[in-house]
Amino acid sequence: MGTSDPYVKFKISGKEVFRSKTIHKNLNPVWDEKVTLLLDSLREPLYIKVFDYDFGLQDDFMGSAYLYLESLEQKRTLDVTLDLKDPHYPDHDLGSLELAVTLSPKEGDLREAQQQQSLRLSELHRKSQLWRGIVSISLIEGRNLTPMDTNGLSDPYVKFRLGHQKYKSKTMPKTLNPQWREQFDFHLYEENGGVLEITVWDRDAGKRDDFIGRALLDLSGLSKEHTHKLDLPLEEDKGMLVLLVTLTASAAVSISDLSVNILDDPAERCEILSRYSLLRSFHNLKDVGMVQVKVIGAEGLMAADVTGKSDPFCVVELSNDRLQTHTVYKNLNPEWNKVFTFNVKDIHAVLEVTVYDEDRDRSADFLGKVAVPLLKIQNGERKAYALKNKELTGPTKGVIFLETDVIFNVVKAGLRTLVPIEQKYIEEEPKVSKHLLQQNFNRVKRCILFLINTGCYINSCFEWESPQRSICAFLLFLLVVWNFELYMIPLSLLLLLAWNYFLIASGKDTRQGDVQALEDLLQDEEDEDDKDDKDSPLRLHLFFMGDLTKEHLDSERKGFMNKLYAIQDVCISVQNALDEVASYGERIKNTFNWTVPFLSWLAIAALFVGTLVIYFIPLRYIVLAWGVNKFTKKLRDPYIIDNNELLDFLSRVPSDVQVVQYQELKLDPGSSPNKRKKNNPG
């Protein structure tokens, strides 16, 4: 189309320190952005790279330049023009960048410098894997926000950023006084807390979202172990946000060598077991348990360097907790021998272990990954896990050796199942994927076919296709209708769970067939998607013919891009909606199929209690108690965060795709954890 969507990256010593916003459809962009960077040395030049943003595709390189800092004069603003070059085509003219650069001593009392230094300390603590506490943000509501749409309203959502951690709230349509009632947890890497950046945006379908306002919250001024109600005004009188902020100290995570292991000490282990015993079930409900992960080593990793070797390191993640081993250089069979300890807030969380290859001049290369649900861990068992690809749907090269222990309180774990699941940091916006769209469509299709087959089975009873079945169905119908009571609804679900448990216990387990069918479906879609990518690459050809003015061309291009953004937005919405519908259908099925026995037993307990309550207490009293609670909830606590216990429970049940992702791959006969155990008896 004869234009670009440029943005700029700034790097020092091979590390990205700033990225500009994207200016769409412009070859002469004006960013008008300001950033303050703290430098350890003037010897390292500032490396500047320009890219063209491509939605869903790899961004195009548009040129680079070096800014040599030693040549700059201190305490003086200089206008600098840098000619962009491509190292592969040094003679090509790629345009230029204009910057206003000021170099000043570190001791300068600049607000921007303080904020950047705060971020830098946060980054250092993050790399050292030491966080000092947790800040819980409850986003309650907004008041008198600025209207951004033609109807005089907005569709607001909020973004939070603390260092490298980012969250985004849900969008509230057509309102200037939104009620979010959402909670987010951040890690604190600094003693003083740092600065929380809050931005409010208006969601626009088909074009870029509108910026409403911004607020900065200095956490260092808040006392710990206390909930603060804050009314934060947005800049330039664009409205107000109401937040509840709580800072708590935490010693939830640790990293140590294999020789330092608290669970190997009988006294320490006994103390931990007593901390999570049934007698302390109602003490500190958020402290569900602890998990210890021994990362022993890996074998047969993929060679990521031109030398035929790799520089592997391992990252261990549990929800938003993330720890990392050291790097073993020039090795395909590394030994880390590290012990990681995490605090468990949700027993249904998944432990993710990812192996990367370190590259000094660019981001780390992915080598493999495994995902292990905490409820599937066998305590004290040293196992070899075959590494998978990024999507966890297929194998990659190599195995990793882990030994894990989980200790938790059953009552706390059950109660925490009925509260909203913890969100993970938002790293990137969702993108349109043909493969994912087709996969979600097929999953919804399977759910619909199940309902159709069930309806056909019921209809066959009316058609007397099988006289014996029809007679049994008719007698059951008369018996149930004549003696029907409301408590029979949870009782029937309870009996269905018990019947499936009996079938599984007797060896008639059909779950593996469903998992295998979904694996084949996912594999077929991946192969077809790869074939399409190879044989039919996406190409866009535009031909403009006739005597058109520049204004007409610009109008046509703008209209085309708006339509393209609208189509992409609709595709993402459809893709997410299909995933949500399919996931809920699969999770209901997996609850009754005993895919996660802990959750199925919890469902049995809830249905048993529900049956007794409905049987012994008249329905009018139950409805009356429910209504009184609903009507008085906000009066009792104006800032309470509403939740749906049933949906929170279902969010813990894995969908069929997650079942495939969490399933262990079969190892080659040569890969045995016993071999590694002999080499590392400690």
Q: What is the mean pLDDT of the chain?
A: 81
Distance CA 603, CA 609 (A): 10
Q: Please report the DSSP string for 36-52 in residue order.
A: ----S-SSSPEEEEEEE
**Residue 525 above 60 pLDDT?**
no
Q: What confidence category does residue 369 fall into, taking pLDDT thresholds of 50, 70 and 90? A: very high
User: CB within 8 A of 485, min separation 6: which ones?
Assistant: 615
Quote the pLDDT of residue 409: 93
Quote the pLDDT of residue 55: 65
Mean pLDDT for the stretch of residues 137-145: 91
Quote the pLDDT of residue 565: 67
CA distances from 664 to 371, 387, 510, 526, 660 (A): 9, 9, 18, 19, 9
Distance CA 65, CA 68 (A): 10
pLDDT in tens, 153-171: 999 999 998 877 888 898 9
Distance CA 666, CA 386 (A): 7
Nearest CA to 599 among 638, 542, 646?
646
User: CB within 8 A of 14, min separation 6: which ones?
Assistant: 47, 360, 361, 362
Quote the pLDDT of residue 177: 93
Find the helix or strand (DSSP H, E) in which 227 lies: strand 227-233
Q: What confidence category does residue 375 fall into, taking pLDDT thresholds of 50, 70 and 90? A: very high
Asked if 294 and 338 touch (Cβ cutoff 8 Å), the reply is: yes
- Here the tokens at position 369 are 């990954």
Beta bridge partners of 160: 167, 198
CA distances from 566 to 21, 128, 170, 176, 647 (A): 21, 43, 19, 24, 30
Least confident of 233-247, 355-369, 394-408: 355-369
**Residue 205 above 60 pLDDT?**
yes
Residue 481 gets the label, from left (phi > 0), alpha (psi -120 to 50) or beta, of alpha
The CA-based angle 27-32-34, given to 5 degrees, is 130
**Residue 368 above 90 pLDDT?**
yes
- In the three-class reduction of DSSP (H, G, I as helix; E, B as strand; rest coil), residue 678 is classed as helix
Mean pLDDT for the stretch of residues 672-677: 46
Quote the pLDDT of residue 535: 42
Asked if 212 and 176 touch (Cβ cutoff 8 Å), the reply is: no
Least confident of 339-348, 399-408, 520-529: 520-529
Quote the pLDDT of residue 222: 84
Quote the pLDDT of residue 87: 81
Least confident of 172-186, 316-330, 494-508, 565-579: 565-579
Q: Which residue has the higher pLDDT, 107 or 52?
A: 52
User: Strands of 365-373's sheet, edge to edge?
Assistant: 254-257, 335-344, 289-299, 395-408, 381-388, 365-373, 350-357, 312-318, 321-324
The CA-based angle 23-28-31, given to 5 degrees, is 45
**Residue 292 above 80 pLDDT?**
yes
Residues in the chain: 682
Quote the pLDDT of residue 362: 67
**Residue 605 above 70 pLDDT?**
yes
Quote the pLDDT of residue 50: 92
Distance CA 595, CA 586 (A): 11
Q: Which residue has the higher pLDDT, 144 or 38?
A: 144
- Here the tokens at position 469 are 């079945």
pLDDT in tens, 397-420: 999 999 999 999 999 999 999 988
pTM: 0.68
Distance CA 544, CA 512 (A): 56
**Of all residues in the chain, what percent carry a pLDDT higher than 90?**
29
Quote the pLDDT of residue 523: 59
Q: What's the 3-state SS for 72-94?
A: CCECCEEEEEEECEECCECCCCC
pLDDT in tens, 15-62: 777 888 888 888 999 988 888 777 777 778 888 999 888 765 667 889
**Residue 543 above 50 pLDDT?**
no
pLDDT in tens, 611-635: 999 999 999 999 999 999 889 988 8
Best-predicted range by mean pLDDT (75-79, 91-95, 379-383, 605-609): 605-609
Quote the pLDDT of residue 112: 52
